[in-house]
Amino acid sequence: MTTKDRLRERLHSLRKSLVRPYEKAKKKGDKVEMRRLEGLTAELDGVWERLEASAFGQLVADITALKLKIEGHALSGTGMISGISLDDLKDKIKEILSGSSEEDPTEGPGNETPDPVFPEPTDGEAPPPVDISPDVVIDDPGIADSGALILTEAHLIGLWKRSQFPIDGRGIVIFGLRGCRPVDFAGTDFAQAHEIALRETNYKTMNCTMGQWRPNGGLAVFPGSTVPFHTIVASKVGKRGVGVNQMGCGRYKNYAHGWHKRSEGPSGHWALRQECAITIQRTGDDTDYDLDDRWEVGRIAGDNIHCAFHMGADGAIPDSRFSSAGCQTIAGTVKKGVRASERGPWKKFIAPFQRDTGVQDSTEYVLFLAEEAQQMIRTRCAGKSVILRMGSAGPLVRQLQEVLSAHLARSIKVDGDFGVGTFQAVIDFQTDVFGNDADDGIVGPDTAEELGFTLPAFEFADAISGGPGFKPGTEVPVVTGETGSADSDGEGCMLAWGAVTNKKHGPAFKAKVIAIAKRLRADPDHLMAVMAFESGGKFTPDVKNAAGSGATGLIQFMPKTATSLGTSTKKLAKMTAIEQLDFVELYFKKTVGNRAMHSLSDVYMAVLWPKAVGKSENFILFEKGTTAYRQNAGLDKNRDGFIRKAEAAAKVFDKLVLGQKEGRLG
- Both 359 and 503 in one domain: the answer is no
Looking at the chain, the whole-number percentage of residues with pLDDT higher than 90 is 48
Residue 125 lies in a domain: no
Domain boundary among 422, 439, 455: 455
The 8-class DSSP code of residue 472 comes to T
Residue 2 pLDDT: 56
Residue 474 pLDDT: 63
- Both 72 and 184 in one domain: the answer is no
Query: What mean pLDDT is predicted for residues 180-192?
Result: 90
- Both 171 and 270 in one domain: the answer is yes
- Both 535 and 630 in one domain: the answer is yes
Residue 47 pLDDT: 65
CA distance 574 to 576: 7
**φ and ψ at residue 519, rounded to 5 degrees:** -70, -30
- CATH code at 431? 1.10.101
Residue 485 lies in a domain: no
- Both 355 and 444 in one domain: the answer is no
- CATH code at 568? 1.10.530.10
Report whether pLDDT(268) > 80.
Answer: yes
Report whether pLDDT(105) > 60.
Answer: no
The predicted-structure confidence for 382-436, as pLDDT tens digits, reads as follows 888 999 999 999 999 999 999 999 999 888 899 999 999 999 999 999 999 988 7
Residue 129 lies in a domain: no
Specify whether the CB–CB gap between 110 and 300 falls below 8 A: yes
Name the range with the highest mean pLDDT among 15-24, 475-484, 576-585: 576-585
Residue 166 pLDDT: 93
CA distance 236 to 245: 10
Q: What is the number of structural domains in the chain? A: 4
CA-CA distances (angstroms) from residue 387 to 116, 281, 446, 457?
A: 22, 20, 11, 9
Q: Which residue has the higher pLDDT, 158 or 77?
A: 158
At 327 the three-state DSSP class reads: coil
Residue 195 lies in a domain: yes
- Both 371 and 409 in one domain: the answer is no
Q: Which domain holds residue 450?
A: 395-455
Q: Angle between the 600-608 and 645-659 helix axes, to the nearest 10 degrees? A: 120
CA atoms within 13 A on the CB side of 521: 22
The predicted-structure confidence for 342-391, as pLDDT tens digits, reads as follows 999 999 999 999 988 889 999 999 999 998 998 899 889 988 899 999 99
Residue 5 pLDDT: 62
| Burial group, residue 497, by CB count within 10 angstroms (0-12, 13-18, 19+) | buried
CA distance 226 to 221: 14
Kindly provide the b/e burial profile for residues 571-605, where b requires at least 16 CB atoms within 10 angstroms of the residue's own CB: ebbebebbebbebbbebbeeebeebbbbbbbbbbb
Q: For residue 86, give the amino acid letter.
A: L
pLDDT tier at 78, thresholds 50, 70, 90: very low
Residue 318 pLDDT: 66
Residue 201 lies in a domain: yes
Query: What mean pLDDT is predicted for residues 69-76?
Result: 48
Residue 444 pLDDT: 92
- Both 540 and 412 in one domain: the answer is no
Report whether pLDDT(76) > 50.
Answer: no
- Both 356 and 400 in one domain: the answer is no
The DSSP result for 549-600, as a single string, is S--BTTTTB-HHHHHHTTS-HHHHHHS-HHHHHHHHHHHHHHHHTT----SH
